[in-house]
Structure 1
């Protein structure tokens, strides 16, 4: 998916990626605040279209390899790539994963978050949300100049495994700047052998997808997109777009309040 030369972004390009990342982050925040029980996933997709338009950008997902939605809206056992549907109603307590990409000024911003809708998460759902977000933080901590891609994946997997959960192995993070998917691929587990070295100026989308049960997945045969956990267990997805620096990575998709 993302093989080839890794881009080292120059300062003037980073300014453009920052703007796209902030647009994507703001859309995601607004959506997380707006989603309520009784909405359909099509309602959420329509809201996303409005919020993306407000940024002056456009959806990075719509039409990408034929994808038909503005964003991805995935519920409970749906890992990623859920398409907004008028017959898919969000219920109280559902775990809803929202993945937002915005193209602005020739650059792409990409981020995701999973939320419990209408009430506080409890039990295994609460644990899953906490662990997946913690796994993302652990991966970002390793995303620094001189480390390698495997350092990110190992850190993510360790957090998930320690909690008794599993990381999806068939879906990975990726470079992201001028294009949605760029080299390198960023797995959420350690691969055998060597992996690319991280250098200042690289921009990555780090995105743990964690399942309560098996790491294995299936793809919906009807829509060809929706990815589910193979055992129908709960899944969560968190994603940040980060800039590798000489020190700690800069999280480009933190919403800036000032």
Structure 2
């Protein structure tokens, strides 16, 4: 079953989303050459404490961090560590979440550490973030779940191809419903799988975390012996972008974007709902 939220619950999720946005801002500032991913985890923990929010990653299935830090060919679920030191030219995905009054928010950004990134890596990050916003723009009344998947897939496919000849849209992992728990129905694919059908209608009160993960090569991945870290099979680098979004009678609201997604969605012809905390 898909959990539908009332306006008060969406307001609590928006509060959690703003905490996540601040976690990303502070962690991105701290993601400099010589910093460890363990240091970034402590930055995130401090933001949570400053806002009286709870972590939803720490302890989830035994996960040991407040955030996931995924470097270069790590697609998702990288574990923060003081032994992992960032270098100039690294590509770092920071996946973060927070709970406010029992309601969850979840989002990911990919940041460029230092300098010296190849044109292919810069393009990878741009393509992945742009595909996320294409998916968010499909979160409209009257659409169905598959319309989000199709929007992400089509946006990636229309991009100029990288030297490998294709963008790898990771299939084993995707987005999800979010609300009173971090991971809920429905599962949100980043590609269209015909046998799944069109999926549920997008209706007021539905909240989703949309999160494309794109690589410079294969879409296939494997999990390391720590049972968390997910890497690409061919060692190519990957980017990960995610936002939590709520659909209301007045339109979508990107819960984890500081401006509610207003600027980016307006450029795509979508008007966002009023911010309940504004």
Give your verdict on TM over 0.5.
yes
Q: Aligned pair 1:254/2:254, yes or no? A: no
Could you tell me which residue of structure 2 aligns to residue 87 of structure 1?
Answer: 83
Shift of 1:46: 1.5
Question: Normalising by structure 1, what TM-score?
Answer: 0.94
Q: What are the within-5 Å matches in structure 2 for residues 1-258 of structure 1?
A: 5-119=1-115, 121-163=117-159, 164-192=166-194, 193-221=197-225, 223-246=226-249, 248-256=251-259
C-alpha distance in structure 2 between counterparts of 1:141 and 1:246, whole Å:
15
Structure 2 residue matching 1:214: 3-state secondary structure: coil
Kindly indicate whether the alpha-carbon contact (under 8 Å) linking 2:88 and 2:116 is maintained by their aligned counterparts in 1.
no
Shift of 1:231: 0.7
Kindly indicate whether the alpha-carbon contact (under 8 Å) linking 1:145 and 1:247 is maintained by their aligned counterparts in 2.
no
C-alpha distance in structure 1 between counterparts of 2:30 and 2:200, whole Å:
39
Kindly indicate whether the alpha-carbon contact (under 8 Å) linking 1:39 and 1:90 is maintained by their aligned counterparts in 2.
yes
Residues 133-163 of structure 1 show CA distances to partners (whole Å, capped at 9, x for unaligned) of: 1100110111111111111111111222233
Structure 2 residue matching 1:44: 3-state secondary structure: helix
The RMSD of aligned alpha carbons is 1.5
C-alpha distance in structure 2 between counterparts of 1:133 and 1:16, whole Å:
26
In structure 2, the CA distance between the partners of 1:247 and 1:188, relative to structure 1 (3 Å rule), is farther
In structure 2, the CA distance between the partners of 1:120 and 1:26, relative to structure 1 (3 Å rule), is farther
Kindly indicate whether the alpha-carbon contact (under 8 Å) linking 1:40 and 1:87 is maintained by their aligned counterparts in 2.
yes
Kindly indicate whether the alpha-carbon contact (under 8 Å) linking 2:19 and 2:47 is maintained by their aligned counterparts in 1.
no
Kindly indicate whether the alpha-carbon contact (under 8 Å) linking 1:141 and 1:248 is maintained by their aligned counterparts in 2.
no
Kindly indicate whether the alpha-carbon contact (under 8 Å) linking 1:144 and 1:200 is maintained by their aligned counterparts in 2.
no
Kindly indicate whether the alpha-carbon contact (under 8 Å) linking 2:213 and 2:239 is maintained by their aligned counterparts in 1.
yes
C-alpha distance in structure 2 between counterparts of 1:226 and 1:157, whole Å:
24
Residues 77-132 of structure 1 show CA distances to partners (whole Å, capped at 9, x for unaligned) of: 00000001122110001000000001111111111100111127441001001000
